[in-house]
Amino acid sequence: MERVPVLKIGDILLVSIQIDMEDQVALQLQEDLAERIVATGCHGVIIDISALDIVDSFVGRTLATIAAISRVLDAETVVVGMRPAVAITLVELGLSLPGIRTALNVELGMDLLAREREDNGDDDEETNGLEGAETPAVPAP
């Protein structure tokens, strides 16, 4: 089974998904990330999905779970690089990825994480998700 590599850059773990993931690979990534966050003490996770040409509800749910797990481990997750066609499809599918921070590209994702840390200082209360891009659901037509 293929594995998605997790890179550590400073205080951030960077994951770039380059393959059409089997469900098992996605679940493996979820486990790997949790372990790496604890092992490295990183406070930010960036998941680059710019190479993914689809995100279905399984991958969407995995991303949401990763974000929730990292939050428990005191790391903020930002999903970056979602393609327009993928975003349009997710809206139609009815998947709003609640609780996931997003940014247009890796650079903006790193900015977002840096601002978060600065805003919260050393105080670890935080992340009620009022700022930045939270995603509301579209009401049914």
Partner 1 sequence: MTLSADEAARFAVVLEDHQEALVTFWTDRVAATLRGRLSHAELQRQNAELRRGFQQALAGSAQDLSGEAATELRAQLAELSATRARQGFSTTETAVSIFSLKDAVLAALDTQGQVDAATLRDYIAFSSFVDEAALFTFDSYVRVREELIADQAEQLLELSTPVVKLWEGVVAVPLVGTLDSARAQVVMERLLQTLVDTGSPYAIIDITGVPAVDTQVAQHILKTVVAARLMGADCIISGIRPQIAQTIVALGIEFGDIATKSSLADALRYVLTQTGKKAR
Partner 2 sequence: MNEPGRRIEVASDQDVVRVRQQVRTLAVAVKLSLVDQTKIVTAASELARNTLVYGGGGWVEVAPADNGRRKGIRIVFSDHGPGIADLDLAFTDGYTTGGGLGLGLSGARRLVDEFDIVTAVGEGTTITVTKWCR
Of positions 3, 24, 31, 115, contacts partner 2 by CB under 8 A = 24
| 121 touches partner 1 (CB under 8 A) | no
Residue 105 CB, nearest approach to partner 1 (Å): 6
Q: Which is nearer to partner 1, 19 or 88 (CB)?
A: 88
Distance CA 86, CA 84 (A): 5
Distance CA 45, CA 113 (A): 9
Q: Which of 129, 78, 69 is nearest to 105 (CA)?
A: 78
CB atoms within 10 A of CB 35: 11
Helices (H) and strands (E) in the chain, counts: 4, 5
Distance CA 109, CA 114 (A): 9
Q: Which of 47, 52, 37 is nearest to 105 (CA)?
A: 47
Report 75-94 residues binding partner 1 (CB under 8 A).
78-80, 82-85, 87-88, 90-92
Report 59-78 residues binding partner 1 (CB under 8 A).
78
Of positions 7, 9, 51, 54, contacts partner 2 by CB under 8 A = 54
Of these partners, partner 1, partner 2, none, which one is at the site of residue 43 (CB under 5 to 8 Å by kind)?
none
The residue ranges that bind partner 1 (CB under 8 A) are 78-80, 82-85, 87-88, 90-92, 96-97, 101-105, 107-109, 112, 115, 133-139, 141
